């Protein structure tokens, strides 16, 4: 009986331990002190033997690797690397949070005329490194692998490598959150080249922080509309799916075999929705086309046979001789008398049913579609007033378009600039002019106002625009310009190009009273070309071309992933203001001047010295925000202007000055009032009632959340809340049996 009671007591202990240990299997495992972090199993572009293994110290203390061993297993496990004692006591030390690089050769080794691509000295050179391309399984032991040594980590599952490329010579890198190394989900292919020779095509990061894990592959579920006629302009209004990138340029294409049609005006609303993509279907082949979404990292999502392009109805032809001939934007009566006039220059009648009118600059009214049979005779003028079209022509400048039912624009007016009251903007011999004679539904008549001789431009002294650059920076430049006759110009535009032969991309439309424009988000040490255009009597006046080379970035404020991280946010304060907390977790000072925080709504805030006077307090006149190691920055909502979502989830990203994503966090639950979202040592995020703004997170709490039913004890490892009941029950039961045994004894 005593023996049975003792067994019962020990069973209570076993139950307690079981329920304590069991949840850890469903959570991310705490990594070993030292793990295998990167494998150059494919060798390099210099030689397939140019292989290396990188170890990572996951702790905050130095670790002596003397006596550690690495094995390989291509069918039978065998010793590959033995880290033996060295005369230099520091030779086998892997520093806290640092790396230990073991290579087949040194960085200057000559492979038959080609040097190793390594540009950093290995900690250990051992020519016995052989990493299999088809049966990769590497294990790290503390001690003798075949005589009591403790297995620390595994890389590979004994089949083909779990990441990396032999043809592209890219290494196999561990994810930032370290999990089971025998699983493919724990690894990714290197996309950066760090500590490699500058001319190498390889991608790897020996003895440096790994490349960020690539974006997820886009997924396309549905597209609308999914049919169109060839030789039209086709606009997609809804692409639904997942993993569409919210940063960088997302491309949308139609593909049929080797044929590719690239979309323009692509607009990504969310990771699950693209609400616009326009395609020119001129001279393309009819049939079923694949729809492709390409993220900035070049990963593609494909929806096969998503779009059907058909031949136009042979019985339907549209005249290209119906054009807009007159606009009346600023009537001397009421605005309802505004009109758009069109003219049939064809030799036969045209049915306007389905044709479209719109104005597009700036903003534009809703498109007007002619929904009845309106027959326009040869040589006939027909006006459409504002009361019919609901198109409001702006007094300060606008333009209009006439389109076929297919969407093809057949006639478009230039922007007319400021509209004189009571005058019409009309077409005369191919040129648009202002006229005092309003000729609704009739042939245009040019009647010019009387002008003083002083206002008439001398043909030998035409309108000129001169542009210059001021306040040149590494990522911005202030463009200023002078116009010899500013009152004569309308529709002034500024263009930017990286090509001297091209006018380039339209940056902005300017008003006559605007004499400068700040161009931002430029790349340091890059040459750009700028021009300004203006419209005078329907003619385009072109400025001089200005060449500007931005300054070399003097501050070194281009970041690396994980240098500065988001450590705590308060989206739904019980009192006070929302805040975002950042911390420098590297061992060096980091210049974060003009780094940006961006939320899911694309609201952006740039860090600056004016808002952060306590940073670099010793230098009050400094414009630099230099974050020291382990230093925190606290940004409340009144500074950033960013309002974190309380419901529906949120995404918050930190970007450097080159728009590289340094850190991103997200939550998809509701933010409980008064709870901060905090980063725990195991890399997981938890909701906490303990707020630690501007300080290290307090992870000693143990609380519950309504959504995840998780709490965070001192270890930083999360357990389900029902576990407390099992633990308490086991302790009480065990103690009861213990005293009962003493009594019976």
Predicted confidence (pLDDT) per residue in 497-542, tens digit? 988 888 888 888 887 667 788 898 888 778 999 999 888 776 788 8
- Radius of gyration, alpha carbons of the chain: 35
Q: What is the rounded distance in angstroms from the CA atom of residue 654 to the CA atom of residue 289?
A: 38
Q: What is the rounded distance in angstroms from the CA atom of residue 95 to the CA atom of residue 81?
A: 20
Q: Around 724, how many Cα atoms within 13 Å sit in the side-chain half-sphere?
A: 11
Query: pLDDT value at position 733?
Result: 47
Region 119-131: mean pLDDT is: 94
Q: Which residue has the higher pLDDT, 340 or 433?
A: 340
pLDDT at 24 over 50: no
User: Residue 68 CB: number of other CB atoms within 10 A?
Assistant: 25
Give the rounded distance of the alpha carbon of 406 from its chain centre: 34
- Closest residue by Cα to residue 734 from 24, 17, 22, 23: 17
Tokens of 253: 């294409």
Percent of the chain with pLDDT over 70: 84
Give the rounded distance of the alpha carbon of 337 from its chain centre: 47
Distances (CA, A) of 262 to 219, 282, 292, 511, 590: 18, 12, 10, 33, 40
Q: Which of 162-171, 361-370, 660-669 is predicted most confidently?
A: 162-171
- Closest residue by Cα to residue 664 from 677, 676, 655: 655
Average pLDDT, the chain: 83
Which DSSP category does 662 fall into? E
Query: What is the number of helices (H) and of strands (E) in the chain?
Result: 4, 56
Minimum mean pLDDT range among 100-109, 665-674, 695-704: 695-704
Do 629 and 590 meet the contact criterion of CB atoms below 8 Å apart?
Answer: no
- Closest residue by Cα to residue 86 from 133, 48, 123, 111: 123
Reported in sequence order, the residue ranges of 520-600 that DSSP labels E, i.e. its strands, are 527-536, 539-542, 546-549, 564-570, 579-584, 590-591, 596-599
Query: pLDDT value at position 453?
Result: 47
Minimum mean pLDDT range among 79-83, 270-274, 655-659: 655-659
Region 288-316: mean pLDDT is: 87
Query: pLDDT value at position 178?
Result: 92
pLDDT at 137 over 70: yes
Q: Provide the sign of the torsion angle of the four alpha carbons 653, 655, 659, 664, taken in this order.
A: negative
The three-point CA angle 53-146-149 to 5° equals: 70
Q: Give the three-class secondary structure for 362.
A: coil
Query: pLDDT value at position 558?
Result: 66
Residue 12 phi/psi, 5° resolution?
-60, -40
Minimum mean pLDDT range among 352-366, 468-482, 658-672, 716-730: 716-730
Q: What is the rounded distance in angstroms from the CA atom of residue 486 to the CA atom of residue 464?
A: 9
Q: Which residue has the higher pLDDT, 457 or 516?
A: 516
- Closest residue by Cα to residue 72 from 85, 64, 82, 63: 82
Q: What is the rounded distance in angstroms from the CA atom of residue 562 to the CA atom of residue 663?
A: 6
Query: pLDDT value at position 649?
Result: 84
User: Residue 543 CB: number of other CB atoms within 10 A?
Assistant: 20
pLDDT at 353 over 50: yes
Helices (DSSP H) in 345-418: which residue ranges? 386-389
Tokens of 272: 């699950």
* Residue 363 pLDDT grade (very low, low, confident, very high; cuts 50, 70, 90): low
Do 598 and 652 meet the contact criterion of CB atoms below 8 Å apart?
Answer: yes
The residue behind tokens 């979309």 is 263
Q: Long-range contacts for 622-625 (Cβ within 8 Å, ≥24 apart)?
A: 623/593, 624/555, 624/591, 624/593, 625/591, 625/592, 625/593
pLDDT at 721 over 60: no
Q: Which residue has the higher pLDDT, 668 or 452?
A: 668
Do 655 and 662 meet the contact criterion of CB atoms below 8 Å apart?
Answer: yes
pLDDT at 731 over 60: no
The residue behind tokens 């083909």 is 160
Secondary structure element (H or E) that encloses residue 197, with its range: none
Percent of the chain with pLDDT over 90: 44
Q: What is the rounded distance in angstroms from the CA atom of residue 417 to the CA atom of residue 327?
A: 12
pLDDT at 433 over 80: yes
Do 43 and 105 meet the contact criterion of CB atoms below 8 Å apart?
Answer: no
Q: What is the rounded distance in angstroms from the CA atom of residue 88 to the CA atom of residue 94?
A: 13
- Closest residue by Cα to residue 563 from 512, 467, 629, 616: 629
Q: What is the rounded distance in angstroms from the CA atom of residue 261 to the CA atom of residue 256?
A: 9
Q: What is the rounded distance in angstroms from the CA atom of residue 619 to the CA atom of residue 625?
A: 11
pLDDT at 7 over 60: no
Residue 25 phi/psi, 5° resolution?
-70, -25
Tokens of 646: 């309380």
Q: Give the three-class secondary structure for 400.
A: strand
Q: What is the rounded distance in angstroms from the CA atom of residue 68 to the CA atom of residue 143?
A: 5
């Amino acid at each position: 009986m005593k023996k049975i009671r003792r067994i019962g007591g020990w069973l209570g202990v076993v139950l307690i331990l079981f329920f304590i240990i069991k949840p850890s299997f469903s959570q991310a495992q705490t990594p070993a002190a030292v793990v295998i972090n990167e494998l150059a199993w494919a060798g390099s572009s210099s030689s397939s033997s140019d292989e290396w293994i990188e170890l990572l110290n996951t702790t905050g203390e130095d670790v002596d690797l003397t006596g550690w061993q690495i094995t390989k297993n291509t069918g039978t496990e065998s010793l590959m690397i033995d880290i033996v004692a060295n005369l230099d006591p520091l030779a086998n030390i892997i520093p806290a949070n640092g790396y230990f690089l073991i290579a087949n050769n040194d960085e200057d080794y000559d492979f038959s005329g080609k040097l190793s691509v390594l540009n950093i000295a290995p900690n250990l050179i051992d020519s016995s490194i052989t990493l299999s391309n088809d049966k990769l399984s590497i294990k790290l032991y503390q001690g003798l692998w075949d005589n009591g040594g403790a297995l620390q980590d595994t890389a590979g599952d004994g089949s083909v490598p779990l990441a990396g490329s032999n043809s592209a010579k890219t290494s196999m890198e561990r994810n930032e959150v370290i999990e089971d190394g025998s699983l493919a989900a724990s690894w990714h292919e290197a996309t950066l080249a760090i500590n490699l020779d500058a001319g190498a095509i390889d991608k790897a990061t020996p003895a440096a922080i790994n490349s960020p894990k690539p974006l997820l592959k886009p997924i396309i579920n549905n597209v609308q509309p999914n049919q169109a006629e060839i030789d039209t302009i086709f606009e997609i209004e809804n692409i639904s799916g997942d993993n569409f990138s919210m940063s960088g340029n997302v491309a949308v294409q139609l593909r049929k075999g080797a044929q590719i049609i690239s979309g323009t005006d692509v607009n990504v609303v969310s990771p699950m929705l693209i609400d616009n993509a326009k395609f020119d279907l001129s001279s393309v082949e009819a049939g079923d086309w694949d729809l492709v979404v390409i993220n900035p990292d070049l990963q593609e999502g494909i929806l096969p046979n998503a779009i059907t392009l058909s031949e136009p109805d042979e019985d339907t032809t549209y005249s290209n001789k119906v054009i807009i001939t007159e606009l009346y934007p600023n009537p001397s009566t009421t605005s309802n008398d505004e009109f758009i006039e069109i003219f049939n220059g064809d030799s036969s009648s045209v049915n306007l049913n389905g044709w479209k009118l719109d104005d597009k600059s700036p903003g534009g009214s809703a498109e007007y579609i002619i929904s009845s049979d309106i027959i326009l005779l040869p040589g006939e003028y027909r006006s459409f007033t504002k009361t019919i079209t609901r198109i409001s022509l702006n007094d300060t400048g606008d333009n209009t378009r006439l389109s076929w039912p297919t969407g093809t624009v057949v006639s478009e007016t230039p922007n007319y600039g400021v509209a004189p009251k009571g005058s019409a903007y009309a077409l005369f011999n191919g040129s648009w002019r202002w006229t005092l004679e309003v000729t609704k539904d009739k042939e245009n008549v040019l009647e010019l106002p009387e002008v003083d001789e002083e206002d008439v431009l001398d043909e030998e002294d035409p309108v000129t625009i001169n542009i210059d650059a001021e306040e040149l920076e590494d990522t911005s430049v202030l463009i200023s310009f002078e116009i010899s006759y500013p009152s004569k110009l309308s529709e002034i535009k500024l263009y930017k190009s990286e090509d001297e032969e091209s006018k380039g991309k339209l940056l902005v439309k300017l008003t006559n009273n605007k004499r400068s424009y700040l161009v931002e988000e430029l790349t340091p040490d890059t040459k750009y070309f700028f021009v300004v255009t203006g419209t005078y009597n329907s003619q385009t006046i072109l400025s001089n071309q200005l060449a500007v080379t931005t300054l070399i970035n003097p501050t070194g404020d281009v970041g690396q992933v994980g240098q500065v991280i988001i450590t705590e946010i308060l989206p739904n304060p019980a009192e006070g203001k929302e805040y975002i907390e950042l911390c420098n977790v590297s061992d060096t000072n980091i210049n974060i001047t003009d780094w940006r925080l961006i939320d899911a709504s694309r609201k952006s805030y740039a860090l600056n010295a004016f808002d952060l006077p306590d940073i670099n307090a010793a230098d009050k006149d400094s414009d630099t925000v230099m974050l020291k190691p382990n230093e925190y920055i606290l940004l409340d909502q009144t500074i950033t202007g960013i309002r974190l979502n309380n419901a529906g989830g949120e995404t918050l990203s930190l970007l450097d000055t080159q728009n590289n994503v340094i850190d991103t966090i997200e939550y998809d639950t509701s933010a409980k009032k008064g709870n901060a979202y905090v980063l725990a040592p195991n890399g997981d995020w938890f909701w906490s009632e303990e707020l630690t703004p501007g300080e290290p997170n307090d992870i000693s709490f143990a609380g519950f959340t309504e959504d995840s039913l998780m709490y965070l004890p001192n270890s930083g490892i999360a357990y389900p809340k029902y576990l407390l009941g099992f633990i308490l029950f086991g302790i009480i039961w065990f103690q009861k049996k213990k005293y009962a045994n003493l009594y019976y004894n």
